[in-house]
Structure 1
Amino acid sequence: MDLQEYFRRIRFSGVYKKPDLATLRTVHELHVMNVPFENLSIHCGERNTMDLQIIYEKIVKNHRGGWCCENNLLFSWVLREMGYKYTTLGSKIFKTFKNDFGLLDYHLINLVEIEGRPYITDVSFGLSYQIWQPLELISGKDQQQPGGVFRLQNDGEKWILEMTGRKPMVQNEAFTNSSLIDRRLTKTIYSFVLTPRGVDHFLNTSEYLQTSPESLLTQKSICSLQTPTGFRALVGWTYSEVTFNPEEDADIIEMKDVAESEIETILKEKFYIVLVNKLTPINNKVTYKL
């Protein structure tokens, strides 16, 4: 495992000097711009793993993406190699249909301390919810990022991440009422406590997410990548390009359904992914929003 090879993977061409906030911001943003959030392996007959060496081979050497247990675990190795003081945490995803958080830690994130100040790094949530740069762990502070305004709220031991976005402007009339469109302006994303978690804490999570028929990630094939102007997403057979337009307080959304024969080309041209095994797309009706 080679840090310089990782830097080449995310197109980091700067000179790394010390573990400061400016460098962390740069590396964090380059990761989300070059490494997709995706769960395609489980829809190709493959298995995801918590083995860091295998994750490194997949994401860095084979130019794939991954879900949080892969991307953020790899990022924890990057933090360690770069000399940052970090702690891995588990978070509970907010489920809109239940109006409550899930019971288990389904999402892995990292807490980084720089000059006595803590920051949350998360390079693998995807879509409009993806933070581009670390968030300072301070309650109630509005933190502007390209996707919207993110906010961490402290509720005793629990921290809650929420964001305020912009109104969606769907350009294709056929998708005006698509279930993929999130029309809520303020969204609760996940909650977490500051208890350190090791890899073993997420083994059951990884197994559940890729095997349970109730898991969102078995019900939808997803690939999402941030771009300089917004993000791209392929969910099942629906391809979307979202352009952030903060001047008009809107997100411009272009959507289309694609034939299964086109998916391989879209993955290669839009997400820079070439799959070894055949993908079986899926898009069952469970809650998931752009």
Structure 2
Amino acid sequence: MDPAQTDAYLDRLAVARPLRPTLGALRELHVAHLRAVPFENLSVHLGEEIVLEERRLVDKLVRARRGGFCYELNGAFGALLGALGYGVTLLAARVYGEEGAVGIPYDHMALAVTTADGSEWLADVGFGSHSRLPLELGARGEQQDPAGVFRVAGAGGPEDDLDVLRDGQRVYRLERRPRVLADFVTGAWWHSTSPRSHFAQSTVCSRLTGDGGRITLSGRVLKSTGADGRREERELGTDEEVLAVYRERFGIALDRVPEVGGHGAVADNGPRE
């Protein structure tokens, strides 16, 4: 990322350029990203190509004012953090499902981020509702977060894998081997095309609100959760209502409503002009 792209990215997050890559700045950037950039899978249902290449990811979030799912959000956020002087390593994870089963390889992407003092943190702005703040990777005790009580624990076995838990429940198993964007192409393709992927079964667009709540549009159902936990839900009737919510509540301007059941876009990592 060049300085102009970095400034444009920070402008979208409404955050000033940090003077140093500190933990405090990382926390501010993390929360701002969750508020400003939606977690969304709309490209899957709009027939848009998902390209796991840094320039394309940043362009989608910054110039096109869109969001994305984990590979896109954490891929772009990692590029921003690297441009700001943080040490950044892409990590693969497998999400826990029913009965403790883990998902496919490269099921999820997260970031290991090293700050100016040498400490290492787990940053994840691509999991929807998850920790609001980075988690300390080396800590093994409980970590208090506005979204719950988190813990990073050894997963056991011969590998150095880690389990990330929220309120005592395992969320995902994190591998410690460094990865590159190209490693996640197959996972992104599977989530975009497989009938077994929940991303292929429904549209979702979700972001953190300024008061610490969350707003989510899933299909045509708009859900709002306040910081106090109170929820409101209503179904949108017309395409115009759906497009207005995308535009006014998520900052996403679309010319048509995404349709479930269309052909997903195959993720690629090749160069594009």
Which bracket does the TM-score occupy, shorter chain normalised? 0.7 to 0.9
Please say if residues 49 and 206 of structure 1, whose CA atoms lie closer than 8 Å, have aligned partners that are also in contact: no
Equivalence map 1:247-266=2 (5 Å): 251-261=229-239, 262-266=241-245
Equivalence map 1:76-115=2 (5 Å): 76-96=78-98, 98-114=99-115, 115=117
In 2, Cα distance between equivalents of 1:187 and 1:64: 31
Please say if residues 93 and 105 of structure 1, whose CA atoms lie closer than 8 Å, have aligned partners that are also in contact: no
CA-to-aligned-CA distance 1:152-202 (integer Å, 9 cap, x gap): 1222322111112xxxxxxxxxxxxxxxxxxxxx43211112100111210
Please say if residues 13 and 33 of structure 2, whose CA atoms lie closer than 8 Å, have aligned partners that are also in contact: yes
In 2, Cα distance between equivalents of 1:26 and 1:224: 19
Please say if residues 159 and 193 of structure 1, whose CA atoms lie closer than 8 Å, have aligned partners that are also in contact: yes
1:60 is aligned with what amino acid?
V
With structure 1 as the length reference, what TM-score do the two structures score? 0.82
With structure 2 as the length reference, what TM-score do the two structures score? 0.87
What's the secondary structure of 1:72's corresponding residue?
A: helix
Please say if residues 237 and 281 of structure 1, whose CA atoms lie closer than 8 Å, have aligned partners that are also in contact: no
More strand by share: 1
2:223 is aligned with what amino acid?
S
For residues 163 and 22 of structure 1, do their structure 2 counterparts lie closer, same or farther at Cα, with a shift above 3 Å needed?
Answer: same
Please say if residues 93 and 173 of structure 2, whose CA atoms lie closer than 8 Å, have aligned partners that are also in contact: yes
Please say if residues 242 and 257 of structure 2, whose CA atoms lie closer than 8 Å, have aligned partners that are also in contact: no
What's the secondary structure of 1:234's corresponding residue?
A: strand
**Number of equivalenced pairs:** 252
| Counterpart for residue 231 of structure 1 | 214
| Counterpart for residue 178 of structure 1 | none
Q: Which runs of 4+ in 1 moved over 4 A?
A: none
| CA apart distance, 1:36 | 0.3
Farther-moved stretch of structure 1 (133-142 vs 70-79): 133-142
Equivalence map 1:1-290=2 (5 Å): 1=1, 2-12=5-15, 14-96=16-98, 98-114=99-115, 115-127=117-129, 130-156=130-156, 157-164=160-167, 186-228=168-210, 229-245=212-228, 251-261=229-239, 262-281=241-260
CA-to-aligned-CA distance 1:72-122 (integer Å, 9 cap, x gap): 0001111210111121100001112x4211131211111012223211000
What's the secondary structure of 2:227's corresponding residue?
A: strand
In 1, Cα distance between equivalents of 2:236 and 2:171: 29
| CA apart distance, 1:281 | 4.9
Provide the alpha-carbon RMSD of the alignment: 1.6
| CA apart distance, 1:230 | 1.0
What's the secondary structure of 1:4's corresponding residue?
A: helix
CA-to-aligned-CA distance 1:207-249 (integer Å, 9 cap, x gap): 111111111110110101001221111111211001132xxxx
Gaps (5+ residues) in structure 2?
Answer: 262-273
| CA apart distance, 1:260 | 3.9
CA-to-aligned-CA distance 1:259-286 (integer Å, 9 cap, x gap): 242210111111111124541157xxxx
In 2, Cα distance between equivalents of 1:219 and 1:268: 23
In 2, Cα distance between equivalents of 1:198 and 1:58: 19
